[in-house]
Structure 1
Amino acid sequence: MKFMRGKFMLLVLLMFSLVFAGCSSNSNNETANKTESANQGSENNTGSTAKAVWFSTVDFWNPPSTWSTDPNTVQGAITEKTGLTFEFNIPAQDGETKLNLMLVSSGQDLPDLLTITNDVLGKKLIEAGKVWDLDEFLKKYDPESHLLTDFPADVKQTIVDRDGGFYAYPSHIDSEDARKVYPPSGQFYIDTVDYATNNGIVVNKNLLNEAGLTLDDIKTEKGLLAAYQKIKDLNLKVNGASVIPLLVDGKSYQEPTLGFLQDTFGAMPVDKDGNYRDRLLAPETKEALEFLYKASKSGYFEPGQMTVDNAAVKADMASGRVFTFIGNSANTSFQLNDYWTSSGPILSDKGTTPVLAKNKRAGGGWMHTFISKTTKEPEKLAKFLSFMTSKEGMLLHIYGFEGIHYNFDANGHIIKTEQGIKDASEYMTTGVSAFWPFHNTTFSYSMQQAPTAETDLQAVTANNVNSAYGKAKDTVIYNSAALELPADLFPADSEFANDELQIKTYKEAQIAKIIMSNDAAEFNKNYEDMITQLKKLGIEALDQERNNYIQEKSKQYGVVIKGVNS
C-alpha cells in the first residue's frame, strides 16, 4: 500500500520524458519477438549475436515486437554495441500471476531480464535467490562498467533500503545526486521537479471567458460552486451539447478527485502531533466529501461519471464542453488542447491551508529491472546494462540518431526534429523512446532544451497546469518521504491485511453513498456512520501499526512531519 502521491508523480515524470507518447497508448497485445533470422550471425564488438528473453508485467509497455538488427535502427544499434537481440514476453494480462507461477515451477529457468513494478514480487525474486545483485554481477562480468562508480548514491540507498541490496535497475531516475551530474536545462524542469503534481483542477479558459468569469472567481470553495451554478444557469453549449460544469475522474475518482479535494482542504495523513492517521478520519475529509455532495445534489456533475472508464473521461475532455475537471490530469490528455489552465488550490470556506506531499527522498524507480541468475548470456547482458545506462546509450534509445531525430543547440541541449517527434510517437515500431525501463528523468531534463510555447506547446500547457497548485502562495509543501508505506507492511495472511481489505471494500461503497445523499441531514448521518464503522473495522489499530513504521522512518530520514491543520 504505497502513499499515492509518489505514484502520481511518477506518472508526471513519465509523461514529460516520453513527450506524452508512451503511457496513454497501446494495445495490450502479448508481444512475442521474432528476431530476423537473416541477421542472427552478424558480428559486433562483443562477438556473435545472441538472443535474450525480456519479460515484463507492465502490460501497456509495448516495445517493438520484431527486433531489427539493422544498425540504422535503434534496436540494431543496440545489438551492434552489446551483441544482444531480444524476444519480448509481455503478457496482455496477469503478468504478475504468470511470474509467480514461474517462481514456483521447479526446474523452470526465468527469462533473462525481468521488468516489474511490484515491490513485493521483487522481494520474492530476491528471497528465492533467482536474481543477481547488480554490483556483484557487474564486478564479475563487466568490471569496467560506469555503474560501479557513477550510479547516484541516493538512489542506490533507496533501493538497498527497499530490497536489501542493489538488485534492480530503476527507471526514471530523479534525485539530487543525479542532478549534480545532470542539472536541469531550464526553469521548466525545475518547476516540474519542485512543484508539479498530477492531481488538481483543470479549467477550460474558453468557457471561463464565455461565462464572464476569471480564475480569481473560482479560487475559493464558495466561488467555484457559484461558478458552477452560473454555468448551469447560462445553459452554455458546445457543438449543440450542454457544458459539463464538473467532470470527475471516472470510476477511479476516489483516489485522484477526492484525493485532490482532501489536499486542497488540508487533510494530511498525520495529526498535529505527527502521528499517522488515515486521511478519512481527518476533519478536512468531511469538507472534501461535502463539496462533492453539494456538486452532485446541485447537478453540477452526473452520478454516472463515477462509474465510467478512462476512455469516457478522455472523450469528454476532448469534446471541449467540460468547464472543470478535478482528478488526475494524466488521465485526460488535456495537454492536446491549449485552452486548458488551472486556478491552483480551491481555498476552503473553513480557512484551512492547502497541502502538497512531495517526497524529497530519491525514488527507487517506477519499473524495476532484474537480471536472472539462469541467463545464458551474462557477459552480454552486463554490457547491455552498462550501455543502456550510459550517456551514449541513453541518447540512442531515448532520442534516436543525431542529425535524423535530434540536433544539439549552441548550449549542447537536444532539439528534436519533426522526424524525431514522429518516431518517438510511433515507438512501438521505431524503437525511439521505447525502452522505458532505462529512461532517466534527470538525464532527459538536463539534455533536452527546455520547452517553450513555440517549441512544445503541449509540454508547456501540461507544466503550467500541473505546477499551478504547488506554486500557489497558499499551498504548503511537506516532505512525505517517511509516509511511503511498503506494500507488504501487513503480511498477506495477517489479521491486519484482512481488516485493511474489509475497510477498502466498505469505504468505496460508503463514500459513494455519502456523495449521493439526498439532503444535508442524510449526508451528516452517512458520514458519521462511515467514521463509526471504520473504527469498528479496526482502522485505528491499522493506523497505529503504520505510525510505528513512519516514526521509525522519520528518525532514519531525519524528517519531522506534523499536521498543518487539524
Structure 2
Amino acid sequence: MTPTPSARGLNRRGFLTALGLSAAAVGAGGALSGCSSSGSTTPQASTAGKVSAGNLPKYVPIEYAKPDFPAKNGSPAGYAKMPTTLVKSVKTTPGTGKTITAMTPLWGTIPPSKGNQYYEAVNKMLGDTIDFQISDGNTYGDKLATVLASKKDVADWVQIPSWNLPARFGSEIVENVFLDLTPHLAGDAVTKYPNLANIPTDAWKACVWNDKLYGLPYPSSGGVGNAIFYRDDLLKKLGITADPKSAQDFLDLAKELTDPSKKQWGSDDPWNAMGLIFSLVPKWRLDDSGKLINRVETPEYKEALEWSHKMFKAGVVHPDAVAGKTDEAKARFQSGRTMMAFDGTGGWNEALRDNLKGNPSYSQMPFLPFGADASTAPVYWKGAGAGMYSFIKKTDDKAKIEELLKLANALAAPFGTDEFQLINYGVEGVHYNLDSDGLPQPTDLAAKEVQPTYIFLVDPPVVEAHVQYPGFVKDYCTWAIKAGESVKEPLFYGMNITEPSQYASIGQPFTDLESDIGRGRKPISALDDAIKEWQAAGGNELRTFYQQILDNQ
C-alpha cells in the first residue's frame, strides 16, 4: 500500500511541498487505516485488537493560539490568520547531550547531516542530537522488514507507516523489539508531558497492540478524510447547481456534465466515490440480526456494483479511467477533463497551490455527504486516528526512557509555539522569511536542509491554516464540521488486528470483480459465486476469528 494524502490542513504542508516534496512526504493516513498485517501466528483472542481505556493517555487539551473555527465533529481547528506571537511550550531543555539514533522514511531528497543548520537548531532546542537514519520511503517497508526480523541494528527510535507494518508485527515483533509505553504514558502519567497529553485519544488508540500502548502517533485529521469533489468554477460557468442527494442524482449530474465533443466527462473512476456513497469502507459490520458480515456480503456492496456498471454504461466516465489509468486522475480533474472526482481532503489545498497561479479562478468544492438513497441518512466511516507511528527500542534504562519522552513532548509542541515553528520551518532568516500575511516563505537553503524528519517521530494535532488561499480555511472548516455530522465509528475502530496469514489473499478476487462488473466484462450474478468461493476459502473462518475478538471486548 502506498501513502494517500491526508487532511493535514496545515500551512507547513504547503511550505514543505514548496520545497519539491511529494504529498506522501508530509502526511499520510486520514482515510487510511493501514493494510492488515498477516503473520504466521496470531495474538490470543482475549487481547487481539483490544484497547482498554485505562491503557490510553489522558486527554488534556491545550491551546496556544485561539482558532477562528474551533474543532467540532472531528474537524481540525481552523486559523484564518497566522498567530502574531508564539509561545515557548517547553521551558527547560529536555535533553542531556545524548545522541539518539532514529530510523525514518523520506519521500524526497535526503538532507545532509553535517553542517545542516536546521538539524543544528532543532537539536539545540532538544538538548540532544537526533542522528537520523533516513531511507527512501518507496522502499522503506523492505528495509523495515529486514531490520525488525533480524532484531539487529534497531535504532533507538523507529518510525513505521501503517502500510509498512511487517508480517508478525502484532503477534511477535512489537513486544520483543519495542518498549511498552503503557506504564509511562497511560492515564495521568502522560500529564508529565503536556504536549503529548494534548494529542487526541483516537490517535493514541491507533498506537495500541494487544492492549498495550507501544507507539507515539503522527495524528490524522479526524472526521472526514475523503470526499467527492466537483469543479465549482466550471459548473458555475455552465449554470449548473451541484447538490446530489442520492446515487441516482450523482449519475444524472454526471450525464449532464458529460460532453465528449469538448473532451469533458462527468466523472473519473467511480469506485472510490461509490465507497463513500454506499458506505462500504468497514471490512466487517453487524447486520440487522446481529450477525457479523463482511462488506462483500452486504446488500449495499451489490447495489454499489450495479450502480458502478450504470455509470460506465452511461458513458460518463473518462475513457482513460475506463482503461484503468488511475495515476492520472488528479490531472484529469484539475484540467477540467473530468468534472467530479474522489480525493483525500488534503488534496484540496494542494490543488489550489498547483492551479491558482496559472488559473486565478480555479475552484473545487467537496459535496456534503449523501447516501445511496435520498431517504437514507448518509454514513461516512471514521478513519484511523493516526496513519503512522514511532516506537522506542526496548530498554531497561529508565533515565533514557524519560529523556526520550521529554524529547517527544517537545516535538509534539502544537501550532502557535516556538518549537512548532522551528520544527516545521527551520530558522527564520535562514530557512524562511515571513511574508506580509505572516506566512513562512522558504529560502533556497530550506530545499536542501528542511526535510520532514522530526515530525515523523511524533506530531501534534492537525490544524487547518492555509491562509494563503483566500476563503479556503472558512470553506474547509465549514464543510468539515457539517460533513462530520455523518461520521460514525466502524465496528473495530481503533483496533490493530493481525489476521492469520492463511487468509491474506482470499479477498483479492473481489478487486478484479469490482472492475469487471463495473466495465461490463462480467454480470452482477458473478458476485454470488465469488462470495460462496470466498466463504469456502476461509471467509467463514475469518468471521469466527473476528467474532472472537468482538466477544472479548
- Mapped contact 2:113–2:119 kept (Cα < 8 A): no
Partner SS, residue 492 of structure 2: helix
Q: Using a 3 Å threshold, how does the CA distance of structure 1 residues 151 and 463 change in structure 2: closer, same or farther?
A: closer
Q: Is the 8 A contact 2:202 2:494 kept in 1?
A: no
- Aligned runs of 1:48-63 on 2, under 5 Å? 51-56=99-104, 58-60=105-107
Give the whole-Å Cα distance in 2 for the aligned partners of 1:121 and 1:461.
40
Offset at residue 14 of structure 1 (A): 2.8
Question: d(CA) in 2 for partners of 1:470 and 1:144?
Answer: 29
Cross-structure match for 1:440: 460
1:135-154 → structure 2 map (5 Å cutoff)? 146=193, 150=197, 154=201
Matches of residues 100-115 of structure 1 in structure 2 within 5 Å?
100-105=145-150, 108-115=152-159
What are the within-5 Å matches in structure 2 for residues 332-481 of structure 1?
Answer: 333-336=350-353, 338-349=362-373, 351-358=375-382, 365-373=386-394, 378=400, 381=404, 383-390=406-413, 393-398=419-424, 400=426, 417-418=438-439, 420-422=440-442, 429-431=449-451, 435-441=455-461, 445=463, 457-460=471-474, 462-463=476-477, 469-471=483-485, 476-480=486-490
TM-score normalised by L of structure 1: 0.66
**Which residue identity lines up with residue 8 of structure 2 in the other structure?**
L
Between the aligned partners of 1:265 and 1:164, the Cα distance in structure 2 is 24
- The structure that has the greater radius of gyration is 1
RMSD between superposed Cα atoms in Å: 4.8
Report the residue type matching 2:336 in the other structure. G
In structure 1, what is the Cα distance between the partners aligned to 2:140 and 2:377? Answer: 42
Segments of structure 1 that go 5 or more residues without pairing to the other structure are: 30-43, 175-191, 408-414, 554-566
Helix, strand or coil for the counterpart of 1:348?
coil
Structure-1 separation of matches of 2:138 and 2:381: 32
Change (3 A) 1:327 1:550: farther
Flag the 1:91–1:315 CA change in 2: closer, same or farther, 3 A. Answer: same
Alignment of 1:226 with 2:252, yes or no, is yes
2:181·2:214 contact (CA, 8 Å) conserved in 1? yes
Gaps of 5+ in 2: 26-91, 356-361
Distance 1:538 1:154, change over 3 A: same
- Quote the residue 2:500 is aligned against: 491
Q: Deviations over 1:218-257 (max 9, x none)?
A: 433333323322333x5563xxxx11211127xxx5xx33
The superposition leaves residues 445-498 of structure 1 with CA deviations (integer Å, 9 ceiling, x where unpaired) of: 3xx7x666x765455555566666445xxxx4433363455340x222xxxx33
Within 2, Cα distance between the matches of 1:424 and 1:459?
Answer: 28
User: For the Cα contact (< 8 Å) 1:102–1:110, is it kept in 2?
Assistant: yes
Counterpart for residue 13 of structure 2: 19
1:305-344 deviations in whole A, cap 9, x for unaligned?
2665664122212212321113545467444455212332
Change (3 A) 1:516 1:169: same
From 139, 144, 152, give the equivalent of 1:99. 144
SS of residue in 2 equivalent to 1:132? coil
- Distance, in Å, in 2 between the alignment partners of 1:466 and 1:547 is 33
2:511 maps to 1:508: yes
CA distance in 2: counterparts of 1:301 and 1:90, whole angstroms: 38
Q: Secondary structure at the match of 1:523?
A: coil
Q: Secondary structure at the match of 2:542?
A: helix
**Are the aligned partners of 1:171 and 1:438 in contact in 2 as well (CA < 8 Å)?**
yes
Aligned to 1:564: none
Percent of aligned positions that are identical: 16
> In the alignment, residue 439 of structure 1 is paired with which amino acid?
D
Q: How has the CA–CA distance of structure 1 residues 396 and 227 changed in structure 2, closer, same or farther, with 3 Å as cutoff?
A: same
Using the alignment, how far apart are the partners of 1:395 and 1:294 within structure 2? 50
Q: Which residue of 1 aligns with 2:160?
A: 116
The letter of the residue matching 2:412 is: T
Q: Counterparts of 1:205 and 1:322 in 2: how far apart (Å)?
A: 12
* Match 1:273 to one of 244, 268, 289: 289
Match among 202, 220, 225 for residue 229 of structure 2: 202
Q: Which has the higher contact order (CA 8 A, sep 6+)?
A: 2
Quote the Cα distance in structure 1 between the aligned partners of 2:199 and 2:365.
Answer: 35
Deviations 1:491-545 (A, max 9, x none): 22xxxx33x512x221111111111226xxx633233333343334343442343
Give the direction of change, closer, same or farther, for the CA distance of 1:264–1:385 in structure 2 (3 Å limit).
closer
Q: Sort the Cα spacing of 1:355 and 1:401 in 2 relative to 1 into closer, same or farther, 3 A.
A: same
What residue is the counterpart of 2:84 in the other structure?
Answer: none
The CA distance in 2 between the partners of 1:28 and 1:267, in whole Å, is 25
Partner of residue 218 from structure 2, selected from 171, 174, 184: 171
Cα gap change, 1:355 to 1:224, in 2 (>3 Å): same
Q: Does the 8 A contact of 2:309 with 2:517 survive in 1?
A: yes
